[in-house]
Amino acid sequence: MYRICVALLLLSMCSVYGVEWVPDCQRPGRPSIPDGDSTTASELLAARTTLEHYLVNADRYLKCLRQYEESLGDRVAEIDGHELLVNYNVMVDEMYLVGDEFNISLRKFKSGVAPGGASTTAQ
């Protein structure tokens, strides 16, 4: 719950400062994770693949932010450094949150599947 509150606070701060101030850094969109209680194995596998792509793109975004900061050198103003830090931290927090979301969904799915692969929920 604490992570969610922090992430929401940081996301709201990003909307105040703006996210598009680094034109070469493309922030990936957050993937949707299916509910483990009502999803199928194939949907969960597809979500895992989407999550893996998202994490790769998020790592690229973080690397881009670091390279942008390094390219500014001594020219980085206090507000620029703050904006970079906020955007970086928001992305890291979101990566953890999406990973946690997927793991919760996977646990829910596994708890609803009987030994042998049959679902224990009514279809």
pLDDT tens digit sequence for 19-61: 445 558 999 999 999 999 999 999 999 999 999 999 999 999 9
Confidence check: pLDDT of 18 > 50:
no
Q: Is residue 115 part of a domain?
A: no
Q: Is residue 121 part of a domain?
A: no
Q: Is residue 33 part of a domain?
A: no
Q: Please give the pLDDT value at position 90.
A: 97
Q: Which residues of 22-47 are buried (b: 16+ CB within 10 A; e: fewer)?
A: beebebbeebebbebeebeeeebeeb
Q: Please give the pLDDT value at position 122.
A: 44
Confidence check: pLDDT of 91 > 90:
yes
Domain with 96, as residue range(s), is: 2-23+39-110
How many of the other CB atoms lie within 10 Å of CB of 53? 12
Enter the pTM of the model: 0.72
Q: Please give the pLDDT value at position 2.
A: 53
Q: Is residue 60 part of a domain?
A: yes
Q: Is residue 116 part of a domain?
A: no
